Amino acid sequence: MAIELKSESEIAIMREAGVILADVLDIVMAAVQPGVRETELDDLVREEFKRRDVIPTFLGYNGYPATICVSVNDKIVHAIPNRRSFREGDVASIDLGLTHRGFVADCARTVAVGEVPSRVGLLIRTTEEALDIGIRELLPANHMGDVGAAIQEYSEARGFGVVREYVGHGVGRLMHEEPQVPNYGKRGKGLTLRKGMVLALEPMLNMGTWKTARDPDGWTVRTADGALSAHFEHTVAVTENGPLVLTTNLAQPAAARPANTLVAG
Ligand code: MF3
Ligand code: CO
């Protein structure tokens, strides 16, 4: 299937979707506390989506049975929320998506529950920074390999494994559109980015090996060696003014500023 380029007015709708999603994600991340069950977060998101009149995109997607994914510790992505309560020291990745006025926004963040060893904090920070570094490469005429290479180099320099078997994706009227967006690659290789592409970048970094294993439930993806994993994701539009992060309710972060803009002062 061909890549669906989005018009400015479509991107404006996707930005609305992204702001709503970021607001809900703020609420969910604040609710990740010792003693809270994963299923309670799913209930919370269902409520917040209903209040905002948006559709949960994950629910029913290829038969997925929940509104969010809650991937704790060695779980990397796509874990179905269960009745387990969070404990001090957990590393919790929360992934959620919504459909608003016919367009999807997809976003994920990872948080530590209470105190964690410094290397675990570094894993989480590095994953978020790797996402930002990948976003900076989302410029017209850059290659997809520039995005992957930037994420991979930054992550591997800190000793973390970059998941290869799951990748980011185009996003629009469908959650998963062309093209695939790998978190590894070679500069100058891969397809050429164009204005109007909207991409979900989602680096997954592991404390150990990049290799994964799937649970018998057919969804949950874990690290092959049982080590911890972190995941951050944004939906981003490629524009002639540089990358526009759609899934944020903040003023555009510095990473999204066009490379050729000088800030006065
Ligand atoms: N961000 C995840 C992805 O793009 C969302 C998966 S949703 C699920 O793969 F419904 F497939 F679980
Ligand atoms: Co995604």
pTM for the model stands at 0.96
The number of the ligand nearest the C-alpha atom of 166 reads: 1
Mean pLDDT for the stretch of residues 95-118:
98
> Is any ligand 1 atom within 6 A of the Cβ of residue 69?
yes
Kindly give the number of the ligand 1 atom that is closest to the alpha carbon of 233. Answer: 1
The closest-lying atom of ligand 1 relative to the alpha carbon of residue 95 is 1
Is the distance from the beta carbon of residue 233 to the nearest atom of ligand 1 less than 6 Å? yes
User: Comparing 3-17, 22-36, 249-263, which segment has the lowest mean pLDDT?
Assistant: 249-263
C-alpha to C-alpha distance for 226 and 171, rounded to whole angstroms: 31
Separation of CA 262 and ligand 2 centre (Å): 32
Q: How far apart are the first and last CA of the chain?
A: 47
57 CA: nearest ligand 1 atom: 10
Residues 6 or more apart in contact with residue 105 via CB below 8 angstroms: 14, 17, 18, 20, 21, 97, 98, 171, 235, 246, 247
| Model confidence band, residue 254 (pLDDT cutoffs 50, 70, 90) | low
Using a 6 Å cutoff on CB, does residue 95 contact ligand 1?
A: yes
